[in-house]
Structure 1
């Protein structure tokens, strides 16, 4: 038994110390070094089947419970809700260029004020000319690159 302890104790101590070892430092990446995983390229195929919820519209946070939503039903078809009224329509995405076609919306009598969140959302869709994907966020931008809507992916 003494012989076993003479061998087992140093072995156990070596294992404990090895587990506490700190890995060698890796060189830090610089801002000019490209990241290993680039942002996904924004294509109609990437968006097809995705569902998005508007977090900000024209720089203002969307009202809870009535968040406008945008669904890519296919590569060139969208549907969603402005918060009250539902809509369907077309979308054309080429490289970073995005344009929504005419949208057909329901005409529900909503308790919203003119120029409110739903109107701003529909206006932002009409003014959209570019799009940018950043992780789980989809930014809709006007022709000059000004953010109109920030959408969060739901699925």
Structure 2
């Protein structure tokens, strides 16, 4: 039975609000023998097809090459970034250089299928599948812009690419001298990491010891360097002890406040306690989870008068009574009804 409490009483309850917690739960990966390269010819709206190679690495990084056949040069797009698996449904979540997230369903250990931008099946007679190849592609890509943290110390430089988190030695060729000089002028202490933007070729080069080849950054054109850090990269968020910001409710985007607490929920691990807000009043309740099934029970809320825009307290409470299942795709959580229809979408921020 839903009831309302005075604000003072509710504030006496333990109530956690926090930012993104980047610890991850172990999500099974339905892909054997990584690394693996998947290849195919994806449909294209304004070209003959997109020849696509995606290589998944066991460390959670990926790189890809796409050639837009029938288009004039330059008609190739390369990418480098990270991948994670959804908590349920075998959906591969990928985020690379341009920050746009791509989704593929793992059909088997031998095949992945491209999904739409909402991670839904594309119903079409066209072929959206990529098949595993017998051999694995090597990391050999030209990328622009290539953003990463550049460090220089003792006549050696290291470049940690932002989207993938991979660290590469820097080869002293091309525009390397401009990169090095700009870094030495900007750094405030030895080995400080600065955010650099390059046009670069990542390909194998002899290691410092000279006895093996390692993927390395070859600077082709220096663009900029600054006292800044990389944007947060893709990770697989936990359901529990993570504040989930409400971004979509009943098919409508949620207006987030410029200041103050945003609407959202937290599923506490302790005592299966649920807390949150619809933008004005604070909500508490309980929840239960078994596999991909979830049930929520909102039992109390404050009863302040809520006149500000973006308040969805009542609608959120009513919608949560219809929730039957859940999934997490990277930093996005979705709640569904008994027919699998999307009811609510949250983001870990």
Normalised TM-score (structure 2): 0.32
Larger radius of gyration: 1
What is the CA deviation profile of residues 47-78 of structure 1, one whole-angstrom value per residue up to 9, with x for unaligned ones? 22111001110010101207421012225111
Which sits farther off after the overlay, 134-143 or 63-72? 63-72
Question: Which of structures 1 and 2 has the larger relative contact order (alpha carbons within 8 angstroms, sep 6+)?
Answer: 1
Q: Which runs of 5 or more structure 2 residues have no equivalent in the other structure?
A: 1-35, 43-55, 61-83, 89-237
Deviation at 1:29, TM superposition (A): 3.7
User: Within 5 A, what are the aligned runs for 1:65-76?
Assistant: 65=257, 67-74=262-269, 76=272
CA distance in 2, matches of 1:137, 1:27: 26
Question: Given that residues 89 and 104 in structure 1 are in contact (C-alpha distance below 8 angstroms), is that contact kept between their aligned partners in structure 2?
Answer: yes
1:3-152 matches, within 5 Å, as: 27-29=37-39, 39-41=85-87, 46-65=238-257, 67-74=262-269, 76-111=272-307, 117-152=312-347
Instruction: Output the aligned Cα RMSD.
Output: 2.8
How many angstroms apart in 1 are the aligned matches of 2:326 and 2:283? 20
Runs of 4+ in 1 over 3 A off after TM superposition: 26-31, 35-38
Partner of 1:47, secondary structure, is coil
Q: Quickly say closer, same or farther: Cα 1:49–1:109, change in 2 above 3 A.
A: same
The TM-score, its normalising length taken from structure 1, stands at 0.67
* Alignment length (residue pairs): 122
- Which string of whole-angstrom CA distances, capped at 9 and with x for unpartnered residues, describes residues 88-125 of structure 1? 11110111101002331111111169xx7322211111
